Amino acid sequence: MKITLIGAGSVVFAKTLLCDILQFPELTDCTIALMDIDPARLKVAEAITKKVVGQLGLPTRVEATQDARRAIRSANYVICMIQVGGFEPGTVLDFEIPKKYGLRQTIGDTLGVGGVFRGLRTIPVINRLAEHIASVGAPGCLLLNYTNPMAMCCWAVDRAVGIPHVGLCHSVQSTSRRLASYAGLAYEDVGYSVAGINHMAFFLRFEFKGQDAYPLLFAKLEEAEFTEDRVRFEMMRRTGYFVTESSEHQSEYVPYFIPHGEKMVKQFDIPLDEYLRRCRGVIDSWRTTEAQLLGGGGGIEIPAQTHEYGSLIIHSQQTGVPRVIYGNVPNRGLIGNLPEGSCVEVPCLVDSQGLQPTCVGSLPPQLAALCQSNISVQALTVEAALTRKREHIYHAVMADPQTSATLPLDQIWKMTDELLAAHQSAGLLGEFSPVIPHTGRAFAGTGDRVIARIDQGRRGLQLTLQNPGSQPVQPTLVARLQTWDGHLLQKATVRPSAPAGQTKRISLPISLPKNLHDGFRVTLSGAGVLAIDLSVPPRRLITDGFELVLGGTPAVQGEIQNAGDRLTMRIRVHDSNVAHGKLPWSGSCVEMFFAASETASPLQVILVPGKGRFAPRLVTADGKAVSGASLQQKSDRSGYEIHLSVPSNSLRLAPDVRTFLFECYASLNALGEAHSGGRTSLSGRFEAHLGAAYYARVQLKPL
């Protein structure tokens, strides 16, 4: 039998696992293969292992190598305990950059932005180890993973490689003992069942000699002098169940504590930056620890077997002695209300047949909801790591409960960009496929799409070719001018070129119809190009009234009448939240465009309602009052109505005008009581005023 330890330079933990394994007589006739990328730490691990073997007088063989594939060759069990990126730069980046943005963490190794980036840099490494196991490991070789983020790593291994594996943690064993102590019970008389996800599994059953012992835990909530595990007891108060992992961890998996300020942090004794302190303490004591472990020329302390599951699994599989452990395994119908394929923590029977997870059924719905908030982050991180799609890194951080409760989206994006750049600069992450700048959408297929568009300019039809890609383009485009009912009038083929990342504009060799009142269409086609047609419907005729509709609901009614050398208008706006913006058109308003003919320059005027001490106004686009305009306003809870009289020449129309072109927009803050606001226009086009062909034709009744 061969047992391989990957990351054996984690000497203290490696020694614990080795002593656990080698104190089973049935497991001593084996080869222990040690692997680490740090030669100094590997040397210490090898010396300590040989000293343990020698002191116990065992036949165990010891190998040491920096080559992971060599260490895994012919292995029956591979124990993974790596930390990709180490304390520096990895962990320091995970903490210090988010801290600049006001995002604080305690441990940051499982969830949150720290967990996301630890997962991104760890998943490629652990998947390579899994591939080695699949190709050179002994048949049925089992990966026992202790590396965090546990659920992300195991989920990625299952998706990408699919080897036998189990994720191991000591939170169930530790917490069960802690609960027995809190309740004042003898541990050997306590029974329990646990299920959920790693670090957020719950004690579904906590019993003393077969009786529900949860009342003893809830009684602690009423003891003022009891101040242990404040976060976990608070979560038990609210959810009804006790969670497996520590209060430090739990405080950063949910949005209820750290984001709410220093007072909350102190109230629940949350140690911010705790993992940084722990890591620095380990580093400071490394040399002392190294000397103690090596023990000079004398013996080495062999501790009693611990409650770590690793040695128990190996012993049960080798001897057939049945045991129940709690393992992190793929959800294949094990927990009904958590996603299939996600990594869940459930009881597992282990014997000579291997690892056999237990079907738990469904969690209480509130617990499943809390788990799901974490699983979403895990799933998106795994997706980003396996597909190399940058957009899913943003999505993972955005979905994190604590991050989303602390930062707005623009800061989440900025922080993520900085973390990515820092990790790549340190050589901890490779490249990811680009996104459209400052978005969560992949650049490929959207941001690099060549777009051709036909617009109506003042001198005819214009073709705009936009090329955001990295290579120049020169597509063949065919434009067809048709009547509104489909009769072909003209056809033109053009081959415009656009350099990489640039936009080219050309005039189309097609003449517009002389009579625009009947409408027309210009269709555009070209291979590999998003071609946008131009459709100008038959011109709308207004003889007195008009209406604007927003989301299928009437939003504005208007009337235009002849008053000699003046126009009179009545505008009724259904806006129940009249609020002004800094600019005339940025709040509730009605924008109107007047043109004497197809070739005349249109005039834009903006009707701004009054409110409070502010009177209604009719102004030009630069905010100047329109000369000679008079306004009267009536308001109610559903909106406002303005009666307007304005000289025709103030609108660039002849004093005796009978016909003119007209377009109208409305911006509403709230349409009635139940609908949000928005922007709508008379023609239904967002920028119809830029082409006079879209304007309606007003025909005034004679006086």
Query: Mean pLDDT score of the chain, rounded to an integer?
Result: 93
Q: How far apart are CA 337 and CA 339, in angstroms?
A: 7
Q: pLDDT digits over 578-589, tens only?
A: 877 677 777 889
Which pLDDT score, from 0 to 100, does residue 635 have?
A: 92
282 or 630, which is more confident: 630
Overall average pLDDT of the 326-345 stretch? 98
- Placement of tokens 């004497």 in the chain: 596
Overall average pLDDT of the 562-578 stretch? 92
Q: Let me know: does 272 contact 258? Beta carbons within 8 Å.
A: yes
Which pLDDT score, from 0 to 100, does residue 301 have?
A: 83
Q: Let me know: does 383 contact 119? Beta carbons within 8 Å.
A: no
Give the tokens for residue 360. 């738990």
Which pLDDT score, from 0 to 100, does residue 685 have?
A: 82
Sign for the pseudo-dihedral over CA of 246, 251, 257, 261: positive
The percent of residues in the chain predicted with pLDDT above 90, rounded, is 81
**pLDDT tier at 668, thresholds 50, 70, 90:** very high
Write down the H helix ranges in 308-390: 309-319, 365-387
The two domains 448-536 and 541-699 share their CATH topology (first three levels equal): yes
The answer to whether residue 201 scores a pLDDT higher than 80 is: yes
The answer to whether residue 214 scores a pLDDT higher than 90 is: yes
The answer to whether residue 318 scores a pLDDT higher than 70 is: yes
**pLDDT tier at 600, thresholds 50, 70, 90:** confident
Residue whose C-alpha is closest to residue 633's, from 599, 609, 602: 609
SS (H, E, C) 549-588: EECCEEEEEEEEEEECCEEEEEEEECCCCCCCCCCHHHCC
Tell me the catalytic residues. Answer: 170
Residues 6+ apart with CB under 8 A from 23: 56, 302, 305, 311
The answer to whether residue 126 scores a pLDDT higher than 90 is: yes
The answer to whether residue 458 scores a pLDDT higher than 70 is: no
Which pLDDT score, from 0 to 100, does residue 295 have?
A: 65
Tell me the pairing of strands 553-563 and 566-573: antiparallel
Point out which residues pair with 557 in neighbouring strands: 547, 572
Residue 319 identity (one-letter amino acid) = T
What are the domain boundaries of the chain? 448-536, 541-699
623 or 341, which is more confident: 341
The answer to whether residue 548 scores a pLDDT higher than 80 is: yes
Which pLDDT score, from 0 to 100, does residue 61 have?
A: 97
The answer to whether residue 534 scores a pLDDT higher than 80 is: yes
Which pLDDT score, from 0 to 100, does residue 676 have?
A: 84
Which pLDDT score, from 0 to 100, does residue 161 have?
A: 97
**pLDDT tier at 674, thresholds 50, 70, 90:** low
Q: pLDDT digits over 89-105, tens only?
A: 999 999 999 999 999 99
**pLDDT tier at 296, thresholds 50, 70, 90:** low
The answer to whether residue 694 scores a pLDDT higher than 70 is: yes
Sign for the pseudo-dihedral over CA of 431, 436, 442, 447: negative
Q: pLDDT digits over 228-244, tens only?
A: 999 999 999 999 999 99
**pLDDT tier at 422, thresholds 50, 70, 90:** very high
Which pLDDT score, from 0 to 100, does residue 364 have?
A: 98
The answer to whether residue 323 scores a pLDDT higher than 90 is: yes
Overall average pLDDT of the 299-311 stretch? 89
Which pLDDT score, from 0 to 100, does residue 258 have?
A: 97
Overall average pLDDT of the 436-461 stretch? 89
Which pLDDT score, from 0 to 100, does residue 523 have?
A: 95
The answer to whether residue 692 scores a pLDDT higher than 80 is: no
Overall average pLDDT of the 346-367 stretch? 97
CB burial of 602-620 (b: ≥16 within 10 Å; e: otherwise) equals: bbbbbbbbbbeeeebbbbe
* Lowest-confidence region among 78-87, 329-338, 431-440, 693-702: 693-702
The answer to whether residue 326 scores a pLDDT higher than 70 is: yes
Which pLDDT score, from 0 to 100, does residue 298 have?
A: 66
Which pLDDT score, from 0 to 100, does residue 184 have?
A: 96
The answer to whether residue 20 scores a pLDDT higher than 80 is: yes
**pLDDT tier at 78, thresholds 50, 70, 90:** very high
User: What region does 519 belong to: left with phi over 0, alpha with psi -120 to 50, or beta?
Assistant: left
Which pLDDT score, from 0 to 100, does residue 687 have?
A: 78
Which three-class secondary structure state does DSSP give residue 696?
strand
Let me know if domain 448-536 sits in CATH 2.60.40.10.
Answer: yes
Neighbours of 487 (CB within 10 A): 9
DSSP for residue 188:
G
Overall average pLDDT of the 200-216 stretch? 97
Backbone angles phi, psi at 476, to 5 degrees: -95, 120
Distances in Å between the alpha carbon of 383 and those of 113, 338, 389, 683? 15, 18, 8, 44
Q: Report the CATH number of the 541-699 domain.
A: 2.60.40.1190
Give the tokens for residue 480. 């067809």
Which pLDDT score, from 0 to 100, does residue 107 have?
A: 94
Overall average pLDDT of the 679-694 stretch? 82
Q: Let me know: does 308 contact 314? Beta carbons within 8 Å.
A: no
Dihedral, 465, 468, 471, 475 alpha carbons, nearest 10: -20
Which pLDDT score, from 0 to 100, does residue 598 have?
A: 83
Q: Edge-to-edge strand order for the sheet containing 477-483?
A: 488-494, 477-483, 520-525, 534-536
Overall average pLDDT of the 363-374 stretch? 98
Give the tokens for residue 465. 């070719």
Q: How far apart are CA 490 and CA 458, in angstroms?
A: 19
- What is the chain's length? 703
The answer to whether residue 556 scores a pLDDT higher than 90 is: yes
**pLDDT tier at 164, thresholds 50, 70, 90:** very high
Q: How far apart are CA 136 and CA 220, in angstroms?
A: 53
Spell out where 211-270 has E strands. 211-212
Overall average pLDDT of the 232-260 stretch? 97
Q: How far apart are CA 522 and CA 461, in angstroms?
A: 9
